[in-house]
Amino acid sequence: MAQQRMALWAAEADIDEDVDLSLALGTYGQNGAFDDAYLQQPQFDESTFIAMQQHMAQRNAFAQIPDVVKSFIIHFHQAVQTNNLPEITVAYESGWNKYTEKFYAKTEWPEAEIIAPLVNDDPIFLILYRELYYRHVYSRLQPNIDDRFHSYENSCELFNYLLNSDGPVTLELPEQWLWDIVDEFIYQYQVFCSWRSKPKTKTDEELATLADGDPVWSSYSVLNVLYSLIQKSRVNDYINAQQQGKSPEEIAEIVGEYGQRPLYRMLGYFSIIGLLRVHVLLGDFTLALKVMENVELNQKSPFTRVTACHVATYYYVGFCYIMLRRYPDAIRTFVTILNFIMRMRQYHTRSYQYDQISKTADRMYALFAICHALSPSRLDDNIANIAKERFGEQYTKMSRGGEEGPPAFEELFLYACPKFISANSPPYNDPDAVLQLLSAEGDSTATDPTHRHLNLFLADVATQSQVPTLRSFLKLYTSLGSKKLANFLDADEEEIVQKMMVLKQVSRSVSHVSGEERGLLDGQTIVTSDLNFVIDESMLHIAESTIGRRYAGWFIKNTERTQRIYDDLKNSPLPVVKPSSQPGAQNAAASSSNEAPQKGPKTGQKVAWGGAKVVS
């Protein structure tokens, strides 16, 4: 691939020449005296001078762009212009990252205005370029307030172009990039909100800008973009039509001119996932699941092709279930995606998103450990073992209950929870209120959204703190007087009876029963514990369900494996019967001397074995 690309760029030599011409001029521009001589204008105008200076600076900056980067940008632009998806993908997924590592690991890419001559000032490409430019600033550098405002404006320009042109635009972009656009948009919104919520760290200038920059990154504007993309693409209608098995013609009819184009359809779908995320960040867990009501969570949907999106979807859905106290649903969600990630790992180590995916996976193992401690189940031993391996210490504390539990829950929750945000800005436009905020004592962690959600979660956990102890006692009996149990626990009998009601309560949960419900919010009450009990006046009766040994999975797995080995054997070419080749193969395995091939098959074999013996 790399070779092919080189060839393409070489073919662009003409344009490069052009560029070099201005580049040469640029270097002359560094000489100030020479420039002064040039400026033989009788009336010296300051603004012209500034414009001139800027022009010179731009030329200088342009001159500093390495030639390979220039060719890369030109090539990238052509790929975008011709909607050449394979070429765009290569440029986007490997080229950009390659040159980032090489030239821009610690600095910004050249600004869009500077590279504009390379791409004939193509406004659409420049918007896309800026999208990448700012994403790089956010991920590698520290965005300043201008970056934050400008990246927002650029996103608006992009979405405006997509949504408000005359009819659907013909632009095509790889699915991965489309997801990244939506994902990054929400990420920057989240980063902006949390940055905005800390007035004490702002300079006076920043405070002034924030005071009159209200609509920038407002929740309404973000939601507006996402809903517009969903509505324009009619992606919900598309999903429904697909589920009803409609023909491609019918679907095309239903989704209209926008929804027929992959760009809009994918952006629409990614916007649903984006909404899920935004609502979680804002603490609206029911609405988050409600916007997903048409989406079927499974591995077969064509939308799962973008792994990063697929993983994010499950992470946020699983987290919602935790906050709805639907731990079995959360466990099921995490198990599904963690198994998926494990299976896909071999294909993803090369992807530039691998780091992000494995970080999210780690957080999901932590959330899984939390759910597993609150609602023990035997859904997937494999995942449970990995979770216990990674978070063994916390897991032990969490599942034992008692005093050590809450700190362990807190630690994992803070590690694994989404980065919650406040929907609204502190009152920067009200100088008095700002002063008040700035002079306020103490830190604000007590009131920040993350701690609000943490405290709610910990209150739920505290309700359950005695559950493990009670369970371990009940397991020893088939019937037990409540007074006796109270004595064991050194507690009042009435108190124990109330705790038994809590125990019963946490052994039940609303859970999604597949096939019967519509939407992720729906569910039925199920029993989540194999320990059941009932109180007859003051006598506890206990019954435990046991799960018979499971053989099927083992047999199915091994049957399939044997079948695969058998097929492989059958499909592999028969060994060639030439006398010399056979010992060669055997020798290679035994790493024997190189004399062997020259001898006959029988001697060769002897040498091989003999050699092995000598070594041992």
Partner 1 sequence: MQAWITPPTRTEIIEGLVSGVDRYNPSNVGILEDYLYHQIRSEEYDCLANLAILKLYQFNPELYNPDVVVNILIKALTASPLPDFNLCISLLDERPINATLDEPDPLPGLLPILNGLHDLLNRCRFPAFWEVYRSEQLENLRDNYTVECVGFEDSIREVVIRAVKTTFTRIGADRLGSYLDLSGPQLEAYVKKLGWTFDASRSVISVPPNPDNQIEATVVQESIKLPQLTKVISQAAKG
In the region spanning residues 379 to 398, those forming contacts with partner 1, defined by CB under 8 A, are none
CB of 457 to partner 1, least distance (A): 8
Judged by DSSP in three states, 403 sits in coil
325 binds partner 1, rule: CB under 8 A:
yes
CB of 243 to partner 1, least distance (A): 18
| Residue of 135, 261, 372, 499 interacting with partner 1 (CB under 8 A) | 499
User: Which residue stretches of 391-535 are H helix?
Assistant: 392-400, 405-416, 431-439, 449-463, 467-474, 482-488, 493-506
517 binds partner 1, rule: CB under 8 A:
yes
CB of 575 to partner 1, least distance (A): 24
CB of 325 to partner 1, least distance (A): 5
Cβ contact 540:550 at 8 Å: no
Q: Which of residues 328-387 bind partner 1 (CB under 8 A)?
A: none
Cβ contact 467:401 at 8 Å: yes
Tally of CA atoms within 13 A in the half-sphere of 216 that contains its CB:
20
User: Which residue stretches of 165-247 are H helix?
Assistant: 175-196, 204-211, 219-233, 235-243
Looking at beta carbons only, is 55 or 557 nearer to partner 1? 557
Nearest alpha carbon to residue 295 among 325, 280, 316, 281: 316
510 binds partner 1, rule: CB under 8 A:
yes
| Residue of 117, 418, 519, 597 interacting with partner 1 (CB under 8 A) | 519
Per-residue contact string for residues 520-559; x = within reach of partner 1 by CB under 8 A: -xxxx-----x-xxxxxxx--xxxxxxxx-xxxx--x--x
Beta bridge partners, 480, equal: 540
Q: Which of residues 405-434 bind partner 1 (CB under 8 A)?
A: 422-424, 426-427, 433
254 binds partner 1, rule: CB under 8 A:
no
At how many degrees (to 10) do helices 219-233 and 175-196 cross? 160
Binding residues for partner 1, rule CB under 8 A, total 73
Token readout for 212 is 């009159």
492 binds partner 1, rule: CB under 8 A:
no
Count Cβ atoms below 10 Å from residue 611 Cβ, excluding itself. Answer: 16
24 binds partner 1, rule: CB under 8 A:
no
Cβ contact 394:369 at 8 Å: yes
Looking at beta carbons only, is 298 or 346 nearer to partner 1? 298
Q: Which of residues 213-252 bind partner 1 (CB under 8 A)?
A: 219-220, 223, 227, 231
Cβ contact 35:29 at 8 Å: yes
Q: What whole-number distance in Å separates Cα of residue 280 and Cα of residue 190?
A: 11
Looking at beta carbons only, is 124 or 503 nearer to partner 1? 503
Q: Which of residues 256-295 bind partner 1 (CB under 8 A)?
A: 282-287, 290
Per-residue contact string for residues 433-462; x = within reach of partner 1 by CB under 8 A: x--xx---------xxx--xx--x--xx--
324 binds partner 1, rule: CB under 8 A:
yes
For Cα atoms 521, 527, 533, give the angle at the middle one, nearest 5 degrees: 150
Q: What whole-number distance in Å separates Cα of residue 263 and Cα of residue 487?
A: 68
Q: What whole-number distance in Å separates Cα of residue 457 and Cα of residue 16?
A: 60
Nearest alpha carbon to residue 92 among 142, 135, 49: 135
CB of 547 to partner 1, least distance (A): 5
CB of 463 to partner 1, least distance (A): 5
CB of 288 to partner 1, least distance (A): 11
CB of 204 to partner 1, least distance (A): 20
Looking at beta carbons only, is 148 or 326 nearer to partner 1? 326
CB of 464 to partner 1, least distance (A): 10
Cβ contact 145:178 at 8 Å: no
| Residue of 216, 272, 500, 607 interacting with partner 1 (CB under 8 A) | 500
